[in-house]
Structure 1
Amino acid sequence: MKKISNVFYITIGLIILAVGYGVLASDSFETVTTNIKSFVSSSFGWYYMMLLSVLLVLSIFFIFSPFGKIRLGKDEDRPQFSTATWIAMLFSAGMGIGLVFYGAAEPLSHYAVSPATAEPNTDAAFKESLRQSFFHWGLHVWAMYGVVALSLAFFQFRKNEPGLISATLKPIFGKKMEGPWGILVDVLAVFATAFGVATSLGFGAVQINAGLNYLFGVTIGIKVQFIIIAIVTVLFIMSAWSGLSKGIKYLSNANLILALVLLAFVVILGPTLLIFNMFTDSIGGYLANLVQMSFRTAPLNAANREWLDSWTIFYWAWWISWAPFVSMFIARVSKGRTIREFMVGVLLAPTLLSAFWFTAFGTTAINIQREGIADLAKESTELVIFEMFHNMPWSFLISIIAVLLIASFFITSADSATFVLGMQSTYGSLTPPNNIKITWGVIQSAIALILLSVNGLNALQNTIIIAALPFSFIMLLMIVSLIKALKKEMKGIQRKKRL
């Protein structure tokens, strides 16, 4: 146990306090966190919009700047994973289960329930629904993940620093990051990761339960969700035990294959021509409106502002809270790639795949709604996709594939997080011991189960979004630190060339 850092023990203490509050005073916990979340959304929405936009501009800058030639590792290092496997890992860790959960439900909501600016159930709302879904899951998100992961990978593999968030701030604060201030930074990152993944475990269990209920009439309730989480926990711990090159690699590839199979079914059995036309039109609309959407805060329209708080600003805070986990994992699997190759891959591949996914699922759901075949808009989020399949050919087979994909994404996200939590708890070790990975796996599942049992997942989600605010300031410091280090690195490279 000598390898375990103080970050582990401090974070465990904070987790016990938060979960204890959620269990002993669940109503109070939800009320307090909801009020704080609302304050953060209304007061810092402009800041989140500016921050994510700056990160997107910075990502594009890295692609075209001289920094793009620098390799994330030594000059002789080459990528550990093939490009296809690498993209599969990015996709699985970064979006995963969310695409299945929201793939049909989000565009449908923007169309029929609460459009951003258009009238519900209109052609304008249809176009806007896909454009907004692209925006929430597209370039801005991956730019943020990319810049944070780039900073981690550069310091970890090029400068031989430990794989810790605190280590990326050394060019600014020096040795202070090896003391209490560094521990504080890393505790915040581990806390956000543990709770963020626990929330996803909870929501994933709910959706698998909904799928099993739809397919086989399995009862929806905490007992079934307990069994689902228990089975998944065993599977993702086994995967994490086997390491990056086996379990997580194979599962990520399986995820991508399953996702493409499900996507193909929806495209072929759904309104195929409409899907391709809407994709082409929506990509154009997304790019044409990107600047306006990036800075929209609706200061003079209370209804539009409420929508932004509920959707865009909520998403930006949610993605920021996931940045420590996702970015650490992306950095870990990206050794040997150049900055240009890294940023192009992280920015474009998941964005395009996500955009086509939302087009296929969203267009199919909206088409069913428009044609009056079924009223999908009245269904709960976790059931929309299964009710959509119910109104398509081969519905049972497609639903089975969807449940398998949810479970596969579920396992991959959890074991990726277990790996990252292990790194952060063992001074940034690239190969954390199995006992610490198992411990974190059990802790994540326990958090999900306890809070599911007291209906505390919404409060937990609020907590993570609140934690995003202080971490966003750390992200700004990471950017300054990275640029400072890259300038120094370029001077060293140029000096070598002159010799």
Structure 2
Amino acid sequence: MTKTGPVAPAEAAGEHDALDHQPDNLHPALDPVIEDHKAHEPRKVDTVVFGVTAAIAVAFVLWGFLSTDTLSTASGAGLDWVVHNMGWLFSLVASGFVLFVIWLAASKYGRIPLGRDDEEPEFKTVSWIAMMFSAGMGIGLMFYGVSEPLSHFVTPPPGTGAAGNPEAVQNAMATTLFHWTLHPWAIYAVVGLAVAYGVFRKGRSLLISSAFAPLLGEKHTNGPAGRVIDMLAIFATLFGSAASLGLGALQIGSGFEIVAGIGKAGNMLLVAIIAVLTLCFILSAVSGVAKGIQWLSNVNMVLALALAVFVFVVGPTVFILNLVPTEIGSYFQNLAMMSARTDAAGGDAMKTWLSGWTIFYWAWWVSWTPFVGMFIARISRGRTIRQFVTGVLLVPSVVSLVWFAIFGGAGIDMQRGGTDLAGAGTSEGTLFAMLSHMPLSTVTSVVVMLLVAIFFVSGADAASIVMGTLSERGTLSPSRKTVIFWGAATGAVAAVMLLVGGEDALSGLQNITIVAALPFLIVMIGLAVALVKDLSNDPLIVRGAYAVAAVEQAVVAGVTEHGDDFTLTFEESAPGEGVGDLVATDPALERAGSATS
């Protein structure tokens, strides 16, 4: 689920970003007047946001390289505290967001467009779905495609039975889908909706903090509180991106072991891989070959699809097809139980399992929300909230379902057939181990390494643009220096996170990601509250309230005076005697309404 999307996501937004130029006396029931301006208009660096986050990022990197042991100890202690004391919050919020976005789509708010009342979607549905598909692929699917279902099959989650039990396959696939379908994309949808609504409907700047205007007010949103929110968004993106890049380095290193026939890839090789790929990203940023990287990303999607088709055809095709309905049924059957897993139900065994799987995933997805949310917001202008939620939840979920059925199904089938993939090596080497038992193993292994490398470079590019946007007051075209700094910082943080894990590099990535994501999880709760407050005062909702009040009042008067023989008209009333008094609005709407009465 690591995101790559188009490398220059700013281009997907079209040529417009919005600023609010509506008159102060515009009635709240009317469509707001938004004056668009060029999205790529440069803006000055916010010295506070950039300066503080850059200083802390550099300090973290220095700490990691100069005193790896103390950082490892600190991250381990932080992980224990978060999982034990706040694990319940991750679980509740992740499942709560699923219910929240489904409620938004099904409620009266589902009709609200992410743009003007009469605005058509910026992209055709097919193109929109294709871009959503591209956002659902990445290093994460490559890394966990075989290893996660196989791991849950060989070592079932606590409370689901012993290894080899009759329901092991169903539970393994259901647990994998739980981590990769509705929950992550509901988390992304919250930020995506808040950003898209704020920019395209309300004319706010492209900052996470701007979505808090209904709660904090414009003054505080543009002040210290807003800056803190944007800094937390940068930190979340930095560590989430670094975790993804670390996974990519682990997998490329594992590929070198097999293709080049070298021994176990040590941390120095992994750091070298990160350094080379980060250098590739910096060169692409300096030379301005974003179009070329975007073309490579599209090629990557084709290669990923070709690899999936190859494994489907060469692998256990019938078993994979049978697995699709099985995993769907098992997922929905076990959804409530999986959502309720905490260490209260399973003690230390459950606590350890959750920190390596479910809570790590929720933290990882939360850390990716600034980037993914802003990306899906930019491509969704003109869509209604109902269309947005339906597309964002279903399209990537279907992609994940099919991907894990193919790769996880092939891995499980080999394991049951006597080929010990689970015991063949590390998680990052499981995919290569499976491919080694198929035709053209060298070719497919090289393709996997190429896929991960391109995901690495394009992912660093896209995430760095988002961090640059947050550092430069919401511009879609942050300066090259800022983008390069955040790209290099992401690579350096990824290297530190790998080193912190020691022999188990994956644990270093997971531990720090969980700790770093907690503050932004709190921000996201506030974001959901602010979004509901915004939507409740939307012109479409206010018009509906006026319409109900006016029609009800007119019908009562008409029936009372004329029985069945009456029709409805409208005319100006005396101040204080119109339908406005019947509509319950907040003070801001009442002031706006009185200003136009």
- TM-score norm. by structure 2 comes to 0.77
Correspondence 1:264 to 2:313:
no
Partners of 2:466 and 2:182 in 1: CA distance? 24
* Alpha-carbon RMSD: 2.7
Instruction: Give CA deviations for 1:404-428 in whole Å, capped at 9, x if unaligned.
Output: 2212222232121011111111101
Report whether the alignment pairs 1:108 with 2:150: yes
Please state whether the residue corresponding to 1:419 is helix, strand or coil.
helix
Correspondence for 2:523 among 474, 479, 486:
474
- Indicate the SS of the match to 2:167: helix
Unaligned runs of 5+ in 1: none
Query: 433-442 vs 264-273, which deviates more?
Result: 433-442
Q: CA deviation at 1:318?
A: 2.3
Decide whether aligned partners of structure 1 residues 241 and 247 sit closer, same or farther in structure 2, where only a CA change above 3 A counts. Answer: farther
Residue in structure 2 matching 1:388, options 406, 426, 434: 434
**Alignment deviations for residues 13-67 of structure 1 (CA, whole Å, 9 cap, x no partner):** 1112222222222111111111111121122222222111111111112222232
Q: SS at the partner of 1:392?
A: coil
Greater shift in the superposed pair: 124-133 or 367-376: 367-376
Aligned to 2:44: 3
1:142 aligns with 2:185: yes
Residues 1:424 and 1:449: Cα distance change in structure 2 (over 3 Å):
same
d(CA) in 2 for partners of 1:301 and 1:2?
Answer: 52
Structure 1 SS opposite 2:532? helix
Q: CA deviation at 1:88?
A: 4.8
Matches within 5 A, 1:397-416: 397-416=443-462
Moved more, 284-293 or 450-459: 450-459
TM-score when normalising by structure 1: 0.92
Cross-structure match for 2:482: 436
Offset from partner CA, 1:139-197 (integer Å, 9 cap, x none): 01111111111111110221111111111111011011111111111111101211221
Equivalent residues in 2 for 1:194-273 (5 A)? 194-217=238-261, 220-221=265-266, 224-237=269-282, 246=291, 249-273=294-318
By how many angstroms is 1:371 displaced?
1.0
Pick closer, same or farther for the CA change 1:94–1:181 going to 2, 3 Å.
farther
CA 236–153 in structure 1, closer or farther in 2 if over 3 Å, else same: farther
Matched, 1:276 2:321: yes
3-state SS in 1 of match to 2:380: coil
Corresponding letter in the other structure for 1:228: I
Which string of whole-angstrom CA distances, capped at 9 and with x for unpartnered residues, describes residues 225-278 of structure 1?
Answer: 455334433544566679999456544433332221111111111111111111
Question: Which of the numbers 308, 324, 328 marks the counterpart of 2:370?
Answer: 324
Q: Is the 8 A contact 2:233 2:370 kept in 1?
A: yes
Q: Greater Rg, structure 1 or structure 2? A: 2
Question: Could you say which residue in structure 2 is the equivalent of 1:176?
Answer: 220
The residue that corresponds to 1:19 in the other structure is 61
Question: What secondary structure sits across from 1:376 in the alignment?
Answer: coil
Is the Cα contact below 8 Å between 1:92 and 1:412 reproduced in 2?
A: no
Deviations 1:394-443 (A, max 9, x none): 22232222222212222232121011111111101123233322222222
Query: Does the 8 A contact of 2:147 with 2:408 survive in 1?
Result: yes
Q: Against the structure 1 CA distance between its residues 89 and 245, is the aligned structure 2 distance closer, same or farther, given a 3 Å change threshold?
A: farther
Counterpart of 1:72 in structure 2 is: 114
Question: What is the aligned counterpart of 1:35 among 64, 73, 77?
Answer: 77
- Superposition pairs of residues 372-387 of structure 1, within 5 angstroms: 372-387=418-433
Q: Following the alignment from structure 2 to structure 1, what is the Cα–Cα distance between the partners of residues 107 and 115? A: 18
Residues 216 and 104 of structure 1: is their aligned pair in 2 closer, same or farther, counting only changes over 3 Å? same
Residue 283 of structure 1: CA displacement? 0.5
Cα distance in 2 between the residues matched to 1:308 and 1:119:
18
| Amino acid in the other structure paired with 2:541 | K
Contact 1:240 1:247 (8 Å CA) reproduced: no
**C-alpha distance in 2 between matches for 1:415 and 1:64:** 36
Match of 2:233 among 155, 172, 189: 189
Structure 1 residue 314: Cα displacement: 2.3
User: Do the aligned partners of 1:78 and 1:337 also contact (CA within 8 Å) in 2?
Assistant: yes
**2:512 alignment partner in structure 1:** 463
1:275 partner letter? I
* SS of the residue 1:157 aligns to: helix
* Aligned mates of 1:452, 1:305 — CA distance in 2: 22
After superposition, the C-alpha distances for 1:82-123 in whole angstroms (9 at most, x for unaligned) are 545544544554551011101101111111134342211333
The Cα of 1:12 is off from its aligned counterpart by 0.5
Q: Is the 8 A contact 1:369 1:377 kept in 2?
A: no
Please say if 1:162 is aligned against 2:211. no
Report if aligned partners of 2:267, 2:498 keep a CA contact under 8 Å in 1. yes
Determine which of 295, 316, 321 is the counterpart of 2:340: 295
2:132 is equivalent to residue 132 of structure 1? no
Q: Please give the alpha-carbon distance, in whole angstroms, between the structure 1 residues aligned to 2:536 and 2:386.
A: 16
- Which moved further from structure 2: 148-157 or 218-227? 218-227
**Residue in structure 2 matched with residue 362 of structure 1 by the alignment:** 408
**Residues 85, 252 of structure 1: 8 Å contact kept:** no
CA distance change for structure 1 residues 244 and 162 in 2, over 3 Å: closer, same or farther?
A: farther
SS at 1:103 equivalent: helix
Q: Identity over aligned residues, as a percent? A: 43
Letter in 2 for 1:4: V
8 Å CA contact 1:29–1:459 kept in 2: the answer is no
Question: AA paired with 2:479?
Answer: P
Secondary structure, counterpart of 2:517 in structure 1: helix
Give the paired residue count. Answer: 499
Q: Partner residue of 1:120?
A: 163
Question: Does the alignment pair 1:343 with 2:389?
Answer: yes
* Cα distance in 1 for residues equivalent to 2:271 and 2:68: 19
Structure 1 letter corresponding to 2:45? I
- Residue pair 1:92, 1:409 contacting (<8 A) in 2 also: no
Give the AA of the match of 2:482.
Answer: I
